[in-house]
Each structure stands twice: as C-alpha cells, then as structure tokens.
C-alpha cells in the first residue's frame, strides 16, 4: 500500500503487540455445559471469570482469536465520563435512572481496580482526571448544561478554562480520578484465572445459531452443538436475533486511533472534545516513554470518505498540536449505539430468558462491558443486581427511540437502493496496486481489489446479512456494510458480524 506521510503500512493495535496471549484450539466435538458464552472480548471474558469463580461450568467460543475484536482495538479509558450524555439522559430517562447509570459505571471502575489490586496486576492502570472540553462557541452552552446535569446527578467535577494539555480550548468539564489501563494485560489475567477455574475456551469457532429444545443449544459453523442452561451473546453484534430486531436497534460506528511519540512530555489526563470531529487523547507507557494515543473521526461503518483520510486527519491534528516525532501505530474499530444510547443487557427478547445479550456500549465498553458481565452473571446465579432493570433490552423509551428508528431505517433503505442502482463502470485494468473498485463483471455488480502482487480478488458486493451493498474501506482493506456494520476481508471472509456467511467469490470468467 502507498505510504501516507510516514503512516505505518498496516493497521495493528498497540495492545496486541508485546503481549503473550494464550491460544486455544477449535471446538471439535459437541458439548454440554451450564453456560455457553459466545465472544471473547471484555464482556465474554469477564462473565466467564465471574461464573467460573462460582463453580459454574462454562465454555467460551470465539469465531476468531480472543481479544482481537473491539476490545483489542479500544482506547481503554476506564471512566464514567462518556461525552455529552448526562444532560440528555436526564431528559430522556429522568434523574434517578441517570444516577444509576453513573453509579453503575463508577462501580465497574471500582471492580476493575479491585481486581487489579487482588492479583497485584501490572497492567499500567493509572488514575487520571478526565476532561470533556470544547473549543467551539456553539458547544459552550451544551457543556454548561452538562455541568448542570453533573450537579443534579452529584458527579464530583470542576470547570476549567485551562487544561494541562497544550491545545486551544474555551471551556472544560473535569471528572477527577478516572482510570486508564492496558486492557489486554488486565484481561489476560482474567483468562488465566478462568482457565484455572475450568472454563473451556475455543477459538476459530463461530456460532451461527441458537436452537431451542428443552435447553438452548448453540450451533457452530462446523456443525457442533453446545447445549447449555444459558447462552450469553457477548459477540459484540448479537449473532442470534431471536426476533429482537437488533438490526433496526443498533447503529455501527467506526473510529480511528493513531499512536505517536512527540518531543513534548505528556502532561497527564485523559481528554475528549464535545464537538465533531471527535478528538480523544490519552497516553500509555512504551519503552520508558509515552505513546500518545489520539482517537476520533467517527463515522457510520461503510459510509463517508476514503477511510485512510481519517488517519491522515488525526495525523495532521497531532502534527499541528504536538509535533509528531514517530508515527508508530494506527488502527481502527467499530462500536454499536442503541436507539436511546443505553446499552442492551439482559434477555434477548422478553420470552427468551435463557439467551442473554450484551451490546451497544457507544464506545464506552470498558465500564459498560464490566457492568454487563456482572448483570449477566448475577442473573444466572439468581442474585439481585441494582442495574438489571436500567439496561434491559425490553425497555421502550418512546420519544428518542421512535424518531431515531425512522431516521435509521431511512438511512438503511438508502444503502439498499443506492447500492443496487450504482454502476461505476470502472475499468479493472486502470486499478492501481492496493486499490479497489466496484464495477460490473459479466453484468453482475462486483467488488475488485488488486493486491500488492497485482492479483485481483473479486467478490459479490451484496452483504450476506440483509443484502445491502458493501463499500470499500481503504484503511483496513475490507468490504464494510453501511447498514449493520458487517465487515469482510478482500477475499470475502467474514471479519465482523452480524453477517455469518462470506461474500460470494467471483471470477472474470464467471
């Protein structure tokens, strides 16, 4: 691929380097366990850890390797400061529920810290102040409303017009003593503990369905059956919908992270702006220095400009504000947002209490994923949990949900129609190395990618989930679906659900 201003050639997250994670074999037989967990990110692993401590017999399946989903590609701030949200939550849910949300996230932070202390874990955990800032006149009033919401919810805070980081701001809202860590060093410990307590992990084992007889049974792509008392869908996007209509209730959004060194010393703190485009900043130790992580540039998956441009925008921002000495990492990932911005945690639908789901963390899954694990483990262990009702997927909040539902579906419908009518008539012979196009091949709409060896890879661009048209993601070299966020490699393999089947391969001779 062409190098863009010293940009690292391949997207690789810092967290997965320099860490020795255990690996596990594929599932090669059918199984019976108490709980079958699908997904080895923060949600699935924390749930497995909690259940195994209580002598519950657990199997965890991951379609890839564990900790290579969104959890392996996060920014890993452990905080209850989730952008501009508390004012909005008070108006949608009322003060009591908003206080519960804050409390739930602070409890999750406390659980993470206690677990770190319990195992004397070296996972670069550090308490930092969290700054929500704006440099836009238009956002000053919004930040003021958020500050008033902090007052109502009784969130300790300060307002500032100067912050330690040398960037222009007009105002900032500070939530003191929040946290940050190396998420995979932390979760590796939970995996090791879970293995010691008998959890069976299986990698490269995709779950494709749930079948109900007396007990729910997970069906894997290879045709094996995992029969359990409970199924936990910790697969980020629920792999089994159970007629809960999740595709209409979840919005996938990508964002980008760069890891750089600068000549400046990092002043401490975790930062995020209120306006668009998002700029989220923290640091993490690397070789006795600081790696500055700069994240942002959110957009709906499969929509918007060439994805490599988002990395360039972050690089330009870093260059202008701090000066880039070394551009070491770049990676991107997506997270899901629910209709009312509160995660869905609980039974997949009202009638299916033995299939539990946890999703929709809106890029705040370190705390929300930990809360999810506690809620789900407690409901299996038949323990009370103060946050269970708040997060239940069965809730219905008329006002914001209905409006967004309409907007969302209009957007999805456009992707279906636009995709079907477009015909770029791009000539394959004109493709550069590491470039892709969508064109007609033998009358069929086809995605064509030319790799570094000039080999062409042709796929049908119709997403195998609900038949929207995928778009090329140049930054990651993937085909991404704008409707529900499924992603496919350039050879068509599923990288990320909800799609379960690969894109159909095409050839010039079809």
Ligand X SMILES: Cc1cc2nc3c(=O)[nH]c(=O)nc-3n(C[C@H](O)[C@H](O)[C@H](O)COP(=O)(O)OP(=O)(O)OC[C@H]3O[C@@H](n4cnc5c(N)ncnc54)[C@H](O)[C@@H]3O)c2cc1C
11 makes contact with ligand X (CB under 6 A): no
Q: How many Cβ atoms are within 10 Å of 44's Cβ, its own excluded? A: 32
Per CB under 6 A, 437 contacts ligand X = no
Q: Cis peptide leading into 312, omega within 30 of 0?
A: no
Query: Which positions from 239 to 258 touch ligand X by CB under 6 A, shown as an x/- string?
Result: x---------------x-x-
Q: How far apart are CA 110 and CA 133, in angstroms?
A: 25
Least separation in angstroms between residue 281's CB and ligand X is 11
Residue with smaller CB distance to ligand X, 226 or 441: 226
CB of 417 vs ligand X, minimal distance in Å = 28
Query: By CB under 6 A, what part of segment 284-343 binds ligand X?
Result: 295, 333-335
Part of the chain binding ligand X (CB under 6 A), chosen from 72-80, 388-396, 432-440, 451-459: 72-80
Helix (H, G, I), strand (E, B) or coil at 308: helix
Between 257 and 318, name the residue whose CB sits nearer to ligand X: 257
Which is closer to ligand X, CB of 41 or CB of 447?
41
Show contacts with ligand X in window 336-375 (CB under 6 A).
361, 363-367, 369
Please list every residue from 191 through 220 that binds ligand X, using CB under 6 A.
Answer: 206-207
DSSP codes of every residue in 377-398? HHHHTT---TTHHHH-TT---H
Q: Which of 37, 59, 62, 210 binds ligand X (CB under 6 A)?
A: 62
Q: Which is nearer to ligand X, 336 or 448 (CB)?
A: 336
User: What is d(CA 506, CA 491) in angstroms, rounded to the nearest whole number?
Assistant: 10
Q: Which is nearer to ligand X, 206 or 348 (CB)?
A: 206
Pair of tokens at residue 372: 């999810």
Per the CB < 8 A criterion, the answer to whether 250 and 408 are in contact is no
Size of residue set near ligand X by CB under 6 A: 40
Instruction: Give the shortest CB-439-to-ligand X separation in angstroms.
Output: 31
HSE at residue 161, side-chain half, CA atoms within 13 A, is 2
**Nearest-CB residue for ligand X:** 365
The sign of the torsion formed by the CA atoms of 157, 163, 167, 170 equals positive
- Is residue 497 a contact residue for ligand X (CB under 6 A)? yes
d(CA 503, CA 313) in angstroms, rounded, equals: 31
**Which residues between 216 and 235 bind ligand X (CB under 6 A)?**
234-235
Q: Could you give the CA distance from residue 179 to residue 313 in angstroms, rounded to a whole number?
A: 27
With CB under 6 A as the contact rule, the residue among 27, 31, 42, 412 that binds ligand X is 42
Report the distance separating Cα 277 and Cα 311, nearest Å.
12
DSSP 3-state percent helix, strand, coil across the chain (nearest 5):
30, 30, 40
CB of 56 to ligand X, least distance (A): 19
Tell me the C-alpha distance between 411 and 96, whole Å. 33
Nearer to ligand X, 59 or 66 (CB): 66
- The 3-state DSSP class for residue 131 equals strand
Interface residues toward ligand X, by CB under 6 A: 38-44, 61-64, 66, 68-71, 74-77, 206-207, 234-236, 239, 255, 257, 295, 333-335, 361, 363-367, 369, 497
């Amino acid at each position: 691929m062409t190098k863009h201003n010293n940009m690292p050639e391949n997207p690789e997250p810092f967290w997965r380097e320099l860490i020795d994670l255990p690996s596990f074999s594929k599932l090669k037989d059918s199984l019976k366990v108490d709980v079958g967990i699908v997904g080895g990110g923060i949600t699935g692993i924390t749930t497995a850890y909690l259940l195994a401590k209580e002598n519950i017999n657990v199997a965890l399946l991951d379609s890839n390797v564990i900790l290579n989903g969104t959890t392996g590609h996060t920014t890993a701030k452990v905080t209850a400061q989730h952008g501009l949200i508390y004012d909005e939550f008070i108006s949608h849910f009322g003060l009591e529920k908003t206080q519960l949300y804050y409390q739930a996230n602070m409890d999750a932070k406390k659980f993470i810290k206690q677990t770190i202390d319990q195992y004397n874990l070296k996972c670069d955990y550090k308490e930092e102040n969290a700054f929500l800032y704006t440099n836009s006149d238009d956002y000053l009033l919004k930040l003021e409303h958020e500050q008033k919401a902090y007052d109502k919810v009784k969130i300790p805070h300060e307002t500032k017009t100067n912050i330690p980081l040398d960037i222009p701001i007009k105002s900032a809202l500070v939530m003191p003593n929040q946290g940050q860590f190396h998420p995979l060093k932390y979760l590796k410990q939970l995996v090791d503990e879970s293995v010691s307590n008998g959890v069976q992990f299986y990698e490269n084992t995709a779950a494709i369905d749930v079948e109900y007889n007396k007990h729910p049974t997970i069906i894997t792509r290879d045709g094996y059956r995992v029969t359990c008392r409970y199924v936990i869908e910790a697969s980020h996007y629920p792999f089994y919908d159970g007629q809960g209509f999740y595709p209409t209730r979840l919005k996938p959004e990508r964002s980008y992270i760069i890891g750089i060194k600068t000549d400046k010393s990092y002043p401490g703190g975790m930062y995020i702006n209120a306006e668009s485009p998002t700029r989220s900043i923290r640091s993490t130790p690397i070789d006795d220095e600081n790696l500055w992580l700069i994240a942002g540039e959110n957009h709906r998956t499969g929509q918007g400009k060439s994805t490599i441009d988002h990395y360039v925008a972050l690089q330009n921002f870093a260059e202008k504000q701090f000066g880039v000495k070394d551009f070491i990492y770049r990676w991107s990932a997506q997270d899901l947002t629910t209709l009312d911005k509160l995660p869905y945690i609980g039974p997949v639908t009202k009638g299916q209490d033995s299939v539990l789901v946890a999703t929709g963390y809106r890029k705040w899954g370190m705390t929300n994923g930990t809360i999810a694990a506690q809620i789900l483990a407690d409901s299996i262990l038949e323990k009370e949990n103060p946050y269970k009702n708040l997060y239940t997927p069965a809730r219905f909040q008329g006002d914001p949900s209905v409006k967004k539902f309409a907007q969302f579906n209009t957007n999805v419908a456009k992707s279906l129609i636009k995709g079907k009518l477009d015909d770029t008539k791009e000539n394959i012979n004109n493709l550069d190395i590491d470039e892709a196009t969508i064109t007609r091949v033998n009358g069929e709409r086809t995605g064509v990618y030319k790799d570094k060896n000039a080999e062409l890879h042709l796929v049908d661009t119709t997403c195998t989930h609900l038949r929207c048209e995928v778009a090329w993601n140049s930054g990651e070299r993937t085909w991404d679906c704008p409707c529900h966020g499924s992603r496919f490699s350039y050879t068509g393999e599923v990288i990320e659900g909800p799609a379960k089947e690969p894109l159909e391969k095409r050839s010039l001779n079809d």
